[in-house]
Amino acid sequence: MPTVTRNGDTFYAQKGAYFEGNVKIDGNFIVPARTHFWGRLTVTGTLELGPGSTVALDVNCWNAVIGSHARIKGPLVAHGDVTILDNAIVHSVTAGGKVILRTGVHVGDVTSKDTIIIHGRIKSGKLVGKNMKVLG
């Protein structure tokens, strides 16, 4: 099992770690670049998934920042806001807050109870939100 260190209510994964099975973190979780999860990832706080990281199944969290070139092969469900950075690939997104999609993102259907903001060109399924803003 890879090392996860804790500082207050924030947990940090070890750089380049591989996590087999499902992972549940009670708090915020900061994941460095190229960290891989072979199961589900559940975070009760904010998830910061580093660039080039992968999650094999679904992700459930409060807020999420998904790094560039990261890949989530299952649905991403967040109670709050979601930001998906450049060239990340996400199966689908359901968010209680706003969703920001950056240039080059590939995503399935996106459902937001708030605004969906798109920066640049993306590939997506259906986009359902209270408001839609397309920038650039």
Based on C-alpha coordinates, what's the Rg of the chain? Answer: 14
118 CB neighbour count, 10 Å cutoff? 20
Amino acid 41: pLDDT: 98
Per-residue pLDDT, 16: 83
Residue 13 confidence (pLDDT): 96
pLDDT the model gives residue 61: 98
Q: Give domain limits for the chain.
A: 4-135
Residue 47 near residue 81, CB atoms below 8 Å: no
The one-digit pLDDT tens for each residue of the chain (136 residues) are 568 999 999 999 998 899 999 999 999 999 999 999 999 999 999 999 999 999 999 999 999 999 999 999 999 999 999 999 999 999 999 999 999 999 999 999 999 999 999 999 999 999 999 999 999 7
pLDDT score for 1: 56
Q: How far apart are the C-alpha atoms of 73 and 107, rounded to whole Å?
A: 10
- Contacting residues for 92 by C-beta, under 8 A, at least 6 apart: 75, 76, 107, 108, 109, 110, 125
What is the structure's pLDDT at 12? Answer: 97
pLDDT at 3: 83
